């Protein structure tokens, strides 16, 4: 991928898209194209086609999606299915119609079966039932993978698909009703400490295990795959280790300096018991995650303190 190559980052304002733009700039890719939601509605097929006809990008990173944590996914399955299908269908078909050289589609670790053997191999896809709390999103992402693979098989397109594990980092979503666990617990611990609360409420039993990858590592992996991966086979992106939600909560309380008790709200779902990705395929290509979890949480918390939050909002 030449430094002058025109690269469209769809979803450049999101957690991953923003980090990808940072990494591309740091690696001196000078011709990065982006559009705000107000300038281009990726759910509008005609608008997306017109954009591709006008800009003719050579490379596309499809990082735009309707995303959210376990509660948002459970509450809005229609939106998670429909909006993601619309975005994916519009961008992937336009990439084919307008001769994009390479497209990188971002999936999710939730595409794998709820009880897949751990760590999860890419071959586990479609070998068992999905986790019900996010199956609508998972099916949308699986459809995106299959569309990329179909374009590769039928038209010889280089449309590749990466499956990230749970991500976190600066510019994450810290809204407690729609966010993922790490950002939610950071905010809750910060606010509990600020108001001198005696407890921090954690959803579920605390027993599920999750793997967490800092978004800067994910963005670095995306640019690495754009330059080094051509296969239509999906490829996992993760750090290769996981932690229980209880251990994560304790680590976050330590980083934030909250000394109260953890209370587990059993009325909330646990979701998938575990989803540790097997990352030997991407490691074998020469890419590894670099940012340790504690360091990543500390820098995310520093960003959070700098950019928002009044102690007033309740946890």
Cβ at position 213, least distance to ligand GFB in Å: 10
Beta strands in 28-168 (DSSP E): 32-33, 59-62, 102-106, 159-164, 166-168
CB count in 10 Å sphere of residue 84 = 23
Q: Does position 105 bind ligand GFB by CB under 6 A?
A: no
- Binding to ligand GFB by residue 174, rule CB under 6 A? no
Binding mask 248-287 for ligand GFB (x = CB under 6 A): --------------------xxxxx---------------
Choose, from 54, 112, 137, 168, the residue flagged as catalytic: 137
| Shortest distance in whole angstroms from residue 204 CB to ligand GFB | 3
Q: Which of 19, 186, 235, 245 binds ligand GFB (CB under 6 A)?
A: 245
Beta bridge partners of 102: 59
The 159-164 sheet, strands edge to edge: 32-33, 7-10, 59-62, 102-106, 159-164, 235-237
| Nearest CA-CA partner of 29 in 54, 61, 53 | 61
Residue 110, exposed/middle/buried by CB under 10 A (0-12, 13-18, 19+)? buried
Q: Which of 84, 108, 161, 236 binds ligand GFB (CB under 6 A)?
A: 108
**Minimum distance, C-beta of residue 255 to ligand GFB, in the bound complex (Å):** 16
Rounded to 5 degrees, φ, ψ at 293 are -60, -50
Residue from the set 181, 213, 235, 279 that interacts with ligand GFB by CB under 6 A: 181
- Our finding on whether 66 is near ligand GFB (CB under 6 A) is no
Tell me how far the alpha carbon of residue 259 is from its chain's centroid: 30
Q: Provide, rounded to whole angstroms, the least separation between the CB of residue 77 and ligand GFB.
A: 11
- Give catalytic residues, as residue numbers: 137
């Amino acid at each position: 991928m030449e430094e002058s190559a025109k690269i469209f980052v769809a979803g450049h304002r999101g957690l991953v898209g923003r980090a990808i733009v940072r990494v591309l700039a740091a690696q001196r890719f000078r011709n990065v194209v982006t559009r705000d939601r107000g300038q281009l509605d990726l759910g509008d097929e005609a608008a997306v086609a017109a954009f591709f006809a006008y800009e003719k990008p050579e490379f596309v990173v499809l990082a735009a999606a309707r995303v959210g944590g376990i509660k948002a996914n459970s509450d809005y399955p229609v939106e998670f299915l429909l909006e993601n299908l619309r975005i994916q269908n519009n961008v992937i078909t336009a990439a084919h119609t307008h001769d994009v050289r390479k497209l990188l589609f971002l999936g999710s670790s939730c595409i794998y079966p709820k009880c897949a053997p751990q760590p999860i191999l890419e071959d586990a896809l479609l070998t068992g039932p999905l986790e019900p709390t996010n199956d609508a999103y998972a099916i949308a992402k699986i459809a995106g993978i299959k569309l990329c693979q179909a374009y590769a098989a039928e038209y010889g397109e280089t449309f590749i698909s990466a499956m990230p594990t749970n991500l976190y980092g600066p510019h994450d979503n810290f809204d407690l009703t729609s966010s993922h666990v790490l950002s939610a617990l950071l905010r809750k611990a910060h606010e509990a400490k600020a108001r001198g609360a005696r407890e921090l409420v954690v959803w579920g039993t605390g027993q599920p295990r999750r793997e967490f990858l800092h978004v800067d590592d994910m963005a670095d992996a995306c640019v690495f795959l754009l330059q080094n991966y051509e296969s239509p086979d999906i490829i996992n992106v993760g750090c290769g280790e996981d932690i229980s939600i209880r251990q994560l909560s304790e680590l976050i309380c330590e980083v934030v300096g909250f000394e109260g008790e953890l209370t587990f709200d059993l009325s909330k779902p646990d979701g998938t018991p575990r989803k540790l990705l097997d990352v030997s395929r991407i490691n074998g290509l020469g890419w590894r995650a670099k940012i340790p979890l504690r360091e990543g949480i500390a820098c995310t918390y520093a960003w959070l303190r700098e950019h928002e939050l009044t102690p007033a909002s309740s946890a």
